[in-house]
Amino acid sequence: MTVLSEPLGVINVGLEGFRRELEGQGIPVVQVDWRPPAGGDRALIELLSRLERPEIDEANARAVARMTESRPVWIDVERAGKAIPGLEGRTILHAGPAIEFGRMCDPQQRAVEGAARFEGWVSGREDLERQLERGEIVLRPNHLYGSVGAMTGVLSPSMPVVVAENEPFKNRSFSPFNEGKGNVIWLGAFDESTFARLRWLRDEFGPLLRAALRRIPGGLDIFKIVSEGIQMGDEVHARSAACTLILQRLLAPLLVESGASADAVGRALRFIGGNNHFFLSLTLTACKCAAEAAHGIEGSTVVTAMTRNGVDFAIRVGGLGDRWFVAKAPRMDEAIYYSGYTVDDAAGDIGDSAIVETAGLGGMIIGAAPSIASFVGGTMAHARRAMGTLRRICVATNPRFAVGAVDFTPAPVGIDIRKVVRTGVTPFIDTGVLHKASGVGQIGTGIARAPLEVFVRALEAFASSAGR
């Protein structure tokens, strides 16, 4: 046969064992990464086939359009108890889905205790537990109130918050200011310096920023800064250094013109400039605004929230109302740890900050931040492939956040539970790692992959709802 007299080239579909054997014999092979949909699970394949409907695709297109058309604006700074509708009495908000204090991971428990001490409600842990048991202090998830918080996500009524409004859709979101590093509530540690910092944020820093914002007609466009920061090395979750510096540059003359003392202005600018994560609070509010605008569209299978509390991981889907689908928080086994620490020292994945990936930023555009490319392999080629893989589980892309570092590849946006279950690919979140005990705080940085289980549960619920 003449075909065998020619040099052999092979396209191998599926099993990589064939590719390895052929390459071992010096035969060039193009590998096609194919696998059965839904891992070959017949019941899930049946559900997926039932949900391949044009009306679902249309609903998803509307949901993603609302995300990409969102224009979140930073309009105010106010104490949480005054700014957040429904936040009343002795209520403490936290990251992740609802959870009892006894089930919380140690960092979140410590953060709750620190917030209660800051408010003057308790004298210590035993006092806190007694008041929680009697219902005198109440714990609630941030997402129920339109707020979001990084890592432990703990927020109490007198803490100042960023107030953002989505200009086209008029929905608002809120987030506490990032405290920086050290003994800080968001990392699950506190001492007397923590409370001094929180009092300063409440009594001097917050009012000063509020006065500065009053000098910006219409407020400050958050996504405009994000777009610029992406071209300067930020993916705006694990890295926000460029956006923070842009914000500091914009705020500096406004703070000077506010009439505050030179000392107060100096303290504010040093605090912002000394914390590369300062802008993260603005990113969280902006992404919450965008994702919330996409929620509630009937027939949509687009994810509108992902959140974790160190114990549980949860998602919410646009067409399924206020139902949350919960599974165990992933183990932080894809992280780079500080010297002396390992994955065995880490709490589970934690924080509301996965709202960033929900809205198509963070891990979705990991190629924007060359400094963290090591999380997905170490090179920009790896980062580009990671973004391409995530594109497979999303409805569309967002050219507004095209990543210059990887040939202006647009951000994947609109995680579709159908696509996740079909491919078995789950979104990943680039995030910090907290020590599981002892008030140590952050011990590393890496990525956490959302558990497939929550998407399967959401798909089953959606199919059941669609079948009625």
377 and 410 assigned to the same domain: yes
Residue 119 belongs to domain with CATH number: 3.90.1710.10
Q: Say which residues have a Cβ less than 8 Å from residue 160's Cβ, sequence separation at least 6.
A: 77, 78, 79, 80, 176, 177, 201, 202, 205, 206
| CATH number of the domain encompassing residue 357 | 3.90.1700.10
Straight-line distance from the first to the last Cα atom of the chain, in angstroms, rounded to the nearest whole number: 59
The b-or-e profile of 87-122 (16+ CB within 10 A means b, else e) is beebbbbbbbbbbebeebbbbbbbbbbbbbbbbebb
In this predicted structure, what is the pLDDT of residue 2? 56
248: amino acid identity, one letter: Q
Is there a domain that residue 42 lies in? Answer: no
User: Which one, of 376, 372, 371, lies nearest residue 387 by Cα?
Assistant: 376
pLDDT, residue 1, reads 46
Handedness of CA 305, 330, 334, 337 (dihedral sign): positive
Q: State the DSSP H helix or E strand holding residue 434, giving kind and residue range, or none if neither.
A: strand 428-434
Sign (positive/negative) of CA torsion 294, 297, 302, 307? Answer: positive
Segment (H or E) for 448: strand 442-449
Q: Residue 136 phi/psi, 5° resolution?
A: -80, -30
CA distance 280 to 244: 8
Q: Which two tokens stand for residue 159?
A: 């803490």
Return the structure tokens found at 227.
Answer: 């777009």
Residue 375: predicted pLDDT: 87
What is the total residue count of the chain? 468
Structural domain ending residue among the three candidates 262, 284, 306: 284
Residues 135 and 202 both lie in one domain: yes
Instruction: Find residue 433's DSSP bridge partners.
Output: 444
Enter the tokens of residue 238.
Answer: 């694990």
- Chain centre distance of CA 274: 22
H or E, element range at 230: helix 222-230
Give alpha helix (H) positions in 25-85.
Answer: 42-50, 54-69, 80-83
Looking at the structure, do residues 57 and 195 belong to the same domain, yes or no?
no
Do residues 139 and 246 both lie within one domain? yes
Would residue 40 count as lying in a domain?
no
Angstrom distance (rounded) from CA 104 to CA 115: 15
Separation of alpha carbons 117 and 201, rounded Å: 16
d(CA 213, CA 220): 8
The whole-angstrom separation of Cα 362 and Cα 351 is 13
> What is the total count of domains within the chain?
3
How does pLDDT run along the chain (468 residues), one tens digit per residue?
455 566 777 887 666 677 777 777 778 877 766 678 888 889 999 999 999 999 999 999 999 999 999 999 999 999 999 999 999 999 999 999 999 999 999 999 999 999 999 999 999 999 999 999 999 999 999 999 999 999 999 999 999 999 999 999 999 999 999 999 999 999 999 999 999 999 999 999 999 999 999 999 999 999 999 999 999 999 999 999 999 999 999 999 999 999 999 999 999 999 999 999 999 999 999 999 999 999 999 999 999 999 999 999 999 999 999 999 999 999 999 999 999 999 999 999 999 999 999 999 999 999 999 888 888 888 888 999 999 999 999 999 999 999 999 999 999 999 999 999 999 999 999 999 999 987 899 999 999 999 999 999 999 999 998 765
Using an 8 Å Cβ cutoff, are 310 and 332 in contact? no
Pick from 334, 427, 436: nearest CA to 376: 334
Largest CA distance in the chain: 90
pLDDT score, position 431: 94
Tell whether 224 and 122 lie within a shared domain: yes
| CA separation for the pair 93, 340 (Å, rounded) | 32
Q: 232 with 316, same domain? A: no
Predicted local confidence at residue 445, as pLDDT = 94
CA distance 380 to 125: 47
How far is Cα 116 from Cα 136, in angstroms, rounded to an integer?
A: 11
Residues 378 and 454 reside in one and the same domain: yes
Residue 184 to residue 151: CA distance in whole angstroms: 11
181 and 99 co-located in one domain = yes
Question: 318, 296 in Cβ contact below 8 A?
Answer: yes
CA-atom Rg of the chain in angstroms: 23
Residue 314: CB atoms within 10 A of its CB come to 24
**Are both 162 and 271 inside the same structural domain?**
yes
In this structure, the answer to whether residues 257 and 318 fall within a common structural domain is: no
460: in domain: yes
Residue whose entry in the numeric block shows the structure tokens 């064992």: 17
- Domain match, 12 and 131 both: no
**Residue 7, pLDDT score:** 72
Range of the domain at 16: 2-34
289 in any annotated domain? no
The per-residue pLDDT for 379 is 86
User: What one-character-per-residue DSSP string does 396-410 give?
Assistant: EEEEEEEEGGGTTEE
Judge whether 461 lies within some domain. Answer: yes
For 92, the enclosing helix (H) or strand (E) is strand 91-94
In what helix (H) or strand (E) does residue 11 lie, and over which residues does it extend? Answer: strand 10-13
